[in-house]
Amino acid sequence: MIVGGRRPSSATMRAALHREWGAALEIAEVPRPEPAAGEVRIAVQATSVNPIDIYTGYNVGYEQSMQLPCIPGWDVAGVVDSVGYGVTRHAVGDRLFGLASFPQPAGTYAEYLTVPAHHLAAMPASLSFTEAACLPMAALTAWQMLDSVAANGTRDLAGHRVLVSGASGGVGHLAVQLAAARGATVVALARPGNHAALYELGAHSCADHTDPAAVAAIGTVDAVVDLVGREFGRSLFGLVAAGGSISLANAWSIPDYEAAAATYGIRAVSYLVEPDPEALRAIAALADTGRLRVVVGAEFDLSRAVEAQQWVQNRAGFGKAAIVTGVP
């Protein structure tokens, strides 16, 4: 691996970083981190782009303690390179994936990463590093949002009609599959060009979110997983049956969302994803049994991290954008 015409030392690594808030990502050689007690160091094989990564470059989004220079990213799939004191659950050579340290800084747009060992789980055996890296934040978001709308604290959605907005995105296409796996009748909102793919993933019906008449024709649903927010998210409140729930990934974009939901006799839940290795293991099992498929819409080398983020910002395709490092 050559960087800037020379081979980096074992004490350094490549990373994509922001030197100033709002500045473009650049590739730089930076110190390779050492694992503290309770941490492992991962030789990162792949990460993926989430919208929060882009907000991070402007120092906005969830409350966080980012500092400059800032390496974005939380999704990781890779191989344990070193273990810190007290780590017994993972060993050098293990192939792991996870949501690293969220919402605290992680920095997965890099060749190496240190992360609390308990945030990681064994990779799905059937998936590549690239596919596995596209799962943690998106799949955990879908998983936990579905938990928040399930009745009586269970994960059972049998007999429930669940609407997923933003269904063709990184979280949405996984939410469709996970809701179907839990027994729900799934209604997917997306552009017509993405409907065929969503039917293949388990959607029972699809509607064009840009067509108000088509959205109104959906009728009543028991729950909504809203990945869009803003005025469109508010417009979905009226589709939820009395006593139902709507889980909002972007609740901040809907002023007084709880009070607004109450006027419809429904419950609105604001949602922030959390690391959850137990759920990751369940997600991995679904992937290995063919009940969950992650769609990698585009793959970029670390040197093209700017393009990877642009792909997500421009909603250029179906599914997730991955970044691969090429680290040995």
Give the list of residues 6+ apart from residue 134 with CB closer than 8 angstroms, or none: 46, 48, 75, 170, 294, 296, 319, 320, 322
138-270 matches 12-135+294-324 in CATH topology: no
Helices (H), 182-239: 195-200, 212-216, 230-235
CATH label, 12-135+294-324, candidates 3.90.870.20, 3.90.180.10, 3.40.50.300, 3.10.100.10: 3.90.180.10
Nearest to 305 by CA among 31, 9, 57: 57
Query: Are 195 and 214 within 8 A, CB to CB?
Result: no
Any idea what the Cα angle at residue 113 is, between residues 4 and 138, rounded to 5°? Answer: 110
Any idea what the Cα angle at residue 13 is, between residues 11 and 18, rounded to 5°? Answer: 130
Give the list of residues 6+ apart from residue 172 with CB closer than 8 angstroms, or none: 142, 164, 165, 166, 188, 190, 225, 227
Query: Are 116 and 96 within 8 A, CB to CB?
Result: no
pLDDT at 2: 34
Bridge pairing between strands 39-48 and 320-324: antiparallel
Summarised one tens digit per residue, pLDDT across range 114-134 is: 999 999 999 999 999 999 999
What are the extents of the domains in the chain? 12-135+294-324, 138-270
Residue 247 DSSP code: E
Summarised one tens digit per residue, pLDDT across range 290-322 is: 999 999 999 999 999 999 999 998 887 888 999
**pLDDT band with cut points at 50, 70 and 90 for residue 6:** very low
pLDDT at 81: 95
Summarised one tens digit per residue, pLDDT across range 125-160 is: 999 999 999 999 999 999 999 998 876 556 788 889
The rounded distance, in Å, linking the Cα atoms of 170 and 188 is 14
Query: Are 160 and 184 within 8 A, CB to CB?
Result: yes
CATH 1.10.150.310 describes domain 138-270: no
